Structure 1
Amino acid sequence: MTLTDLRGFLRERNRVSLGEVAGHFNTDQGTAESMLDHWVRKGSVEKKTGDVFSSTCCGKCGGHKVTWYQWIEG
Structure 2
Amino acid sequence: MTPIEIRKYLQERKLATLHDIALHFRMTTEAISPMLELWIHKGKVKKHLSSLGCFKGCCKCDPATIETYEWLS
TM-score (norm 1): 0.81
Residues 1:30 and 2:30 aligned together? yes
2:3 alignment counterpart: 3
CA distance in 1, matches of 2:7, 2:48: 17
Displacement after TM superposition at 1:3 (Å): 1.1
Q: Which amino acid aligns with 1:24?
A: H
1:44 alignment counterpart: 44
Unaligned runs of 5+ residues in structure 1 are none
SS in 1 for 2:9: helix
1:20 alignment counterpart: 20
Displacement after TM superposition at 1:68 (Å): 0.4
Larger RCO, structure (CA 8 Å, separation 6 or more): 2
SS in 1 for 2:8: helix
Deviations 1:7-38 (A, max 9, x none): 00000000011111110001111110111111
Task: Decide which structure has greater strand share.
Answer: 1
TM-score (norm 2): 0.82
The size of the alignment, in residue pairs, is: 68
Cα RMSD over matched residues? 1.7
Displacement after TM superposition at 1:53 (Å): 2.3
Q: Percent identity?
A: 28
Q: Which amino acid aligns with 2:54?
A: F
